[in-house]
Amino acid sequence: MELNNYFTDIYYYLHPKLEHAISHQSVRILQILQKEQSVTVRSLAEALTISHNTASEHVKKLENNGWIKKERSDKDQRKVYLKLTELGLQVVKQHTELDENLLKAALGKLSEEEQDNVMRAFRLLSEAAK
């Protein structure tokens, strides 16, 4: 689809320089924690269609890096939720967002009306994806 070509061009030219070496699977886990509420190892395994043990190993690695933390539920001490740390939030943003300065420079080449059209199109696509 033509949209995918545009998307990959945009990401290729506007992505930030990466400071942390991280696997695609780890990025996906951090994204899930960024976007979802009440994430457990079980729900993570289901979302990624991997075994509970594999999800647990990924979580352990990310926790050792200081990117995620575990928090026990106040209501049910048996439940442990996974949360992003501040460093984890920085890492996931770096691996999933565009470089703000490069993006501003690219948008600066467009008229105000064109910038509004780009924002409107991405907002509509984002809402439809959710």
Domain ranges of the chain: 1-16+98-130, 23-96
pLDDT value of residue 9: 94
Under CATH, to which class is 23-96 assigned? mainly alpha
Q: What are the pLDDT digits (tens) for 27-65?
A: 999 999 999 989 999 999 999 999 999 999 999 999 999
Report residue 98: phi and psi, to 5°. -85, 155
Strand partners, 83: 69
Return d(Cα 103, Cα 55) in angstroms, integer. 34
pLDDT value of residue 95: 92
What would the two tokens of residue 2 be? 């033509």
**SS3 of 120, please?**
helix
Q: Which amino acid is at 63?
A: E
H-only helix segments in 1-130: 2-14, 24-35, 41-48, 52-64, 86-96, 100-108, 112-129
Q: Give 76 or 65, the one with higher predicted confidence.
A: 65
Return d(Cα 70, Cα 84) in angstroms, integer. 9
Residue 98 confidence class, pLDDT cut points 50, 70, 90: very high
Residue 76 confidence class, pLDDT cut points 50, 70, 90: confident
Tokens 């079980």 found at: 42
